[in-house]
A = this chain, B = another copy of it.
Amino acid sequence: MINLIETNLLKTLEIYPESTVKDSMTYSLMSGGKRIRPRLLLSLLNDLGGDMNQGLYPGCALEMIHTYSLVHDDLPAMDDDDMRRHKPTNHNVFGEAMAILGGDGLLTAAFTTLAQSDLNSNIKASCMEILARNAGSLGMILGQEYDIKNEIHNLDALIACYELKTGCLFASALEMATVIAGQPEKQTDAHDLGFKLGVCFQFQDDLLEVTKTSEEIGKSVQSDADREKVTIVSLLGLEAAQELTQSYFNDIESLLLKLELKDSYLKDLIEEMMIRNL
Chain A residues numbered 158-190 whose CB sits less than 8 Å from any CB in chain B: none
Residue pair A77, B105 in contact (C-beta under 8 Å):
no
Identify whether the interface residues of A are mostly helix, strand, loop, or mixed.
helix
A273 CB to closest chain B CB (Å) equals 26
Q: A145 at the A/B interface (Cβ < 8 Å)?
A: yes
> Which of A46-54, A108-116, A199-207, A208-216 lies at the interface with chain B?
A108-116
Residue pair B105, A137 in contact (C-beta under 8 Å):
yes
A123 CB to closest chain B CB (Å) equals 8
Query: Chain B residue with minimal CB distance to A129?
Result: B115
How many copies the complex holds: the figure is 2
* Residue in contact with A111 in the complex, picked from B20, B22, B132, B137, CB distance below 8 Å: B132
Query: Chain B residue with minimal CB distance to A13?
Result: B137
How large, as a class, is the contact surface on chain A?
35 or more
Residue pair B129, A125 in contact (C-beta under 8 Å):
no
* Residue in contact with A132 in the complex, picked from B97, B115, B121, B133, CB distance below 8 Å: B115
List chain B residues, Cβ under 8 A from A108.
107, 132, 135-137, 141
* Residue in contact with A17 in the complex, picked from B100, B111, B131, B142, CB distance below 8 Å: B142
A144 to B108, CA, bound (A): 14
A135 to B144, CA, bound (A): 24
List chain B residues, Cβ under 8 A from A101.
72, 141, 144-145, 148
Q: A2 at the A/B interface (Cβ < 8 Å)?
A: no
Q: A82 at the A/B interface (Cβ < 8 Å)?
A: no
Q: A98 at the A/B interface (Cβ < 8 Å)?
A: yes
Chain A residues numbered 60-81 whose CB sits less than 8 Å from any CB in chain B: 68-69, 72, 75, 77-78
A127 CB to closest chain B CB (Å) equals 9
Q: Mark A7-28, 1 if CB is under 8 A from B, else 0.
A: 0000000011101111001000
Residue pair B128, A124 in contact (C-beta under 8 Å):
yes
Residue pair B137, A21 in contact (C-beta under 8 Å):
yes
List chain B residues, Cβ under 8 A from A19.
137, 142, 145
Question: Which A residues form the contact surface with B (CB < 8 A)?
Answer: 15-17, 19-22, 25, 68-69, 72, 75, 77-78, 95-98, 100-101, 103-105, 107-109, 111-112, 114-116, 120-122, 124-125, 128-129, 131-133, 135-138, 141-142, 144-145, 148-149
Q: Nearest 9 CB-CB pairs, A to B?
A: A77-B96, A108-B136, A115-B129, A111-B132, A105-B137, A121-B121, A112-B132, A121-B125, A124-B125
